[in-house]
Amino acid sequence: MTTDLIPILSAIAAALVVLGATPLAMRLARATGAVDVPSGRRIHSEPTPRLGGLAILLGFLVPVVAFLPDDPSARALITGAVLITALGAADDIWGLTPGVKLAGQVACAAIPVAAGLTIDHITLPLLGVGDLGWAQYPITVLWFVALVNMINFTDGMDGLAAGISGLGATTFAILAASLGRADPAIMAAALAGACAAFLVFNFHPARVFMGDAGSMLLGFVIAGVAIGGVMKSAAAIAVVAPLVILAIPILDTSFVILKRLKHGLPVYNADRSHFHHRFFTIGWSQRKTVLALYGWCALMGAVAIALRFVRYRDADGHLQLAGTAVLSAAGLLALAASIYLVYVLEILKWRSTPVVTLVRQSRLERASRREMAGRS
């Protein structure tokens, strides 16, 4: 079997396992009381079982255990993934305090970091490689914990976290394979296949939620494959590509945290200020919102792939017109899409505030009075 086929087979195997395991996870969720009941900030209207993340974990593990060699860092990442899924499942069933969850996330992140899966250097275009030294350990733990919570924050609408994570994992699989990093490519492909199959049950109207067991698993594995597959390489895209691929969860989390800090609220307080909530507030349906965010994520992934494969310099280091034009067009398209979506989220939402509503009513009343005066 050629190594090029293994990531593809991993994705297929993971998908098949998830298709069979998800109904079992739904039964387990109902038996343990891990059911998400509609509440004030929830978008769904029917009680829905959680613990779908257990099926995603099983789908991820089967091909990864079968195809990966006995590598210490890969084994440590898998161990951490299993433990953080267990942590999320405990939260889904019994509920955990934010402090306990954060401590568990740090402990899980420390496992692959201790095994050498670290961001030990930063490669910046035009500037070269910078060694992080001892700082690689806290920085890498912070990276894992940040991604775990970013993906967890996006899991607020049917199919959103699974779709965005699946698209991101697919992009990381392509980049890792192109850089000759087989292990991260296999893990990323397996995660992508698991996410795709889970959408059969999780796309609107969802029959099951992944819960924290799933969202924390997705964030943890994506953080790991981003490091092993791209960030540990000396490629010029080592830093840029992960930031581009993960632009949606990064921007969403940044906006939410800044808003909570602005109003003096704890950053872990749940609210309805995420991107998907804002789309919902301005009247977009769940499907339209999710598909729009899928499109945005796919576009950013395409930009990351273009940065890897489109040659914009020749052997002598001179810029090539065609490659530079393609990359510039891709970047401008991604920037335009981002600006448009932020405009829709912020401007239209701002227009619906009570102050603006009163201004509109005042204008209409004045226009009505003028019209009546003209008739008289």
Per-residue pLDDT of 227-276, as tens digits, reads 999 988 766 678 889 989 999 899 888 888 887 887 777 777 766 778 88
pLDDT at 347: 40
Total number of domains constituting the chain:
1
Axis crossing angle, helix 211-226 with helix 72-93, rounded to the nearest 10: 160
Residue 276 falls inside a structural domain:
no
Residue 103 falls inside a structural domain:
yes
pLDDT at 44: 64
Residue 269 falls inside a structural domain:
no
Contact residues for 115 (Cβ-Cβ < 8 A; gap 6+): 72, 73, 75, 76, 77
Domain interval for residue 109: 3-263
Residue 21 falls inside a structural domain:
yes
pLDDT at 106: 98
Q: ω into residue 72 within 30 of 0, thus cis?
A: no
pTM summary value:
0.87
Structure tokens belonging to residue 94: 């019994």
Question: Within the chain, which residues score under 50 in pLDDT?
Answer: 1, 347-360
pLDDT at 239: 81
Residue 217 falls inside a structural domain:
yes
CA distances (Å), origin 110, targets 103, 144, 303, 333: 11, 9, 32, 38
pLDDT at 323: 81
Residue 317 falls inside a structural domain:
no
Residue 300 falls inside a structural domain:
no
Question: Measured on CA atoms in the order 323, 325, 328, 333, is the torsion positive or negative?
Answer: negative
The CA R_g of the chain, rounded to the nearest whole Å, is 23
CB 34 within 8 A of CB 214: no
Coil, helix or strand at residue 227: helix
Compute φ and ψ for 316, nearest 5 degrees. -90, 0
Residue 222 falls inside a structural domain:
yes
